[in-house]
Amino acid sequence: MRVAVCGLGRMGSAFAAALVGDGHEVAVWNRTPARVDGARTAATPGDAAREAQAVVIVVFDGRAAEEVLFGGAGVAPGAAPGTLVVNATTLSPDESRALARRAASAGLRYLEAPVLGSVPAVRRGALHVLTGGAQEDAADAEPVLRAWSHAGRRQHVGPVGSASALKLVANLALGTTVAALHDAVRLGRALDLDREDVLDVLQNGVCGPLVARKRERLSQGDYGDADFTLAALAKDLALAASAADAPLVMAEAAGALIARAAEHDGHLDVAAMGQA
């Protein structure tokens, strides 16, 4: 299949490499120069989308996705009618629905496909993928999605917006847990506890999966080469807090805490909240 990937952050690069590995004909574009072995490097999103049957978009936020899709040299002006857009960016449901409407007006098909998990899961083909949109579009995206997720890990949630909604719920839980880790290690330090004892207790407890996944970073104090950045998590918590119909006090408290940390260095991995 001819596939374009727009956005070559850690996830986009891993997506493109997996597609190349599956034998697809891949074109890639990134805002700043970047390349992927075995893929054609395009100068614009529109150029990447030219001749593509599916265009994968995985960028920072809704605004960036809008620019990639509908900017002057964007996907919409470059792609053939009926091209399938697979948007893996984390968006609010409203943002995703707005992009879908505009894509339809431009003659494109639109599937939202946010993912749960990170680069190692892409490499194992075990990423959890949530899809929202037409069933037919999800079926047509299957050759693309199976490059990073096996069938048991793909869940069609419902219409456009529903998968974005479920992704927001998951990232709300991630954000509040990261912020809770922050408080827990601070309390441990204030009470003169051994940091490894604290991490052990947390790893064996209700937020164990986060600590287990981040344990090496937390024990070594290494928060660079992020799997998921503070800036991205702060953005997702703001989306979650504003998407609810009543105040979400934990999401708001976590969002404020993480946004403040992201102002210092938003490129750090979210595990940096567990510094003491």
Spatial separation of the C-alpha atoms in residues 157 and 168, rounded to whole Å = 13
Contact criterion met (CB below 8 Å) for 6 and 69: no
User: Is residue 187 part of the contact set for a second copy (CB under 8 A)?
Assistant: yes
33, 37, 152, 191: which one binds a second copy (CB under 8 A): 191
Spatial separation of the C-alpha atoms in residues 144 and 129, rounded to whole Å = 11
Residue with smaller CB distance to a second copy, 43 or 187: 187
Contact criterion met (CB below 8 Å) for 185 and 196: no
Site residue total, a second copy (CB under 8 A): 57
- Residue 167 annotated among the catalytic residues of the structure: yes
Paired residues of 14 in beta bridges: none
Spatial separation of the C-alpha atoms in residues 104 and 81, rounded to whole Å = 10
The distance of closest approach from Cβ of residue 153 to a second copy in the complex, given in angstroms and rounded to an integer, is 10
> With 0-12 CB in 10 A as exposed, 13-18 as middle and 19+ as buried, what is 63?
exposed
Using CB under 8 A as the criterion, what x/- string covers residues 145-184 for binding a second copy? Answer: ----------x-x---xx--xx-xxx-xxx-xxxxxxxxx
- 52 φ, ψ to 5°? -75, 145
Candidates 66-74, 144-152, 243-251, 261-269; binding stretch for a second copy (CB under 8 A): 243-251
CA 161 to each of CA 90, 117, 243: distance values in angstroms, whole numbers, following the listed order: 11, 19, 12
User: Is residue 37 part of the contact set for a second copy (CB under 8 A)?
Assistant: no
User: Is residue 116 part of the contact set for a second copy (CB under 8 A)?
Assistant: yes
Using CB under 8 A as the criterion, what x/- string covers residues 192-231 for binding a second copy? Answer: xx---xx--xx-xxxxxxx--x------------------
The angle subtended at Cα 117 by Cα 114 and Cα 118, nearest 5°, is 105
7, 12, 78, 93: which one binds a second copy (CB under 8 A): 93
Active site amino acids: 167
Contact residues toward a second copy (CB under 8 A) are 93, 116, 128, 155, 157, 161-162, 165-166, 168-170, 172-174, 176-184, 186-188, 190-193, 197-198, 201-202, 204-210, 213, 240, 243-246, 248-254, 256-257
